[in-house]
Amino acid sequence: MDALVSTEWLARELGASDLRIVDASWHMPAANRQPRAEFEAAHIPGAVFFDIDEIADTSSSLPHMLPSPEKFASRMQALGLGDGSRIVVYDNSELRSSARVWWMLRVFGSHQVAILDGGLQKWRSEGRPVESGKPIVRHRHYTPWMDDKAVRSLAQMKSNLTTKAEQVLDARAASRFSGSEPEPRPGLRSGHIPGARNLPYKELLNEDGTFKRGEELRAAFEQTGVDLSRPVVTTCGSGITAAVLTFGLHLLGHDKVALYDGSWTEWGSQPDTPAVTGSL
């Protein structure tokens, strides 16, 4: 299974015994949307809903931080996502939040994971079937495991200011990166991590919400000055759209990449973290 699958591919595979489909829709609070309610109103047949805010470290003051491996495994079992499953993740969000869940699943040991290109919007625009209601799920075993090499902490990001061992790539809009637009979350400074480069996640997408591919995708990264032969850390506001950049790099075969889970919500709230304003 490719990392990015088409609606045509998924339509052919519906009903396969090892296939699991996950709705990973998430929205900024200001959008005033209820993704679980939207899921119950209409979702791809057989899909389950992945609650990004609940399948998280809910003891943290930061939003949707990674949970423990044990909690993640427990929630996956409850969703019927077991070891050996082929998992296709989609969303109905302009943030392409499916990339966050793709990344989480890989961090916690699932490798047969793909994103549905174009998400639910493309699926429905083609007249493909949807169903409503809450799914009936059979629990499956999910082995708790975590690859923390794909995750960066605040301490590691501070250290990187000195070592510059990893390039930092910020997925936020240019106005937030430069600090000309205030952050949507209260209490955060404006600006970006010193040395970071800016690649708004939408630059990786076509107008219909599908991902760019090949040289067009590569050019989106290279025009920021990123050296694709060197390691990259992705970041954003709270770790959602950073995963879009991580996924884009994966499509290019670049897997020397980690994601700063706390992102600007953590960095911009600390008293001792430097912040830079203005564009590069």
Q: Which of 176, 177, 218 is nearest to 197 (CA)?
A: 177
Q: CA-CA distance, 11 to 243, in Å (whole number)?
A: 25
Nearest by Cα to 235 from 169, 191, 183: 169
Q: Which amino acid is at 217?
A: L
Q: Number of helices (H) and strands (E), helices first, in the chain?
A: 10, 10
**Cα end-to-end span (Å), the chain:** 39
236 assigned to active site = yes
Q: Are 264 and 242 in contact (CB under 8 A)?
A: no
What DSSP line would sit under 224-251, residue for residue? TT--TTS-EEEE-SSSSTHHHHHHHHHH
> Which member of 22, 236, 240, 245 is catalytic?
236
* CA angle (119, 22, 97) in 5-degree steps: 55
Sheet holding 86-90, edge to edge: 4-5, 113-116, 86-90, 19-23, 47-49
Residues designated as active site = 236
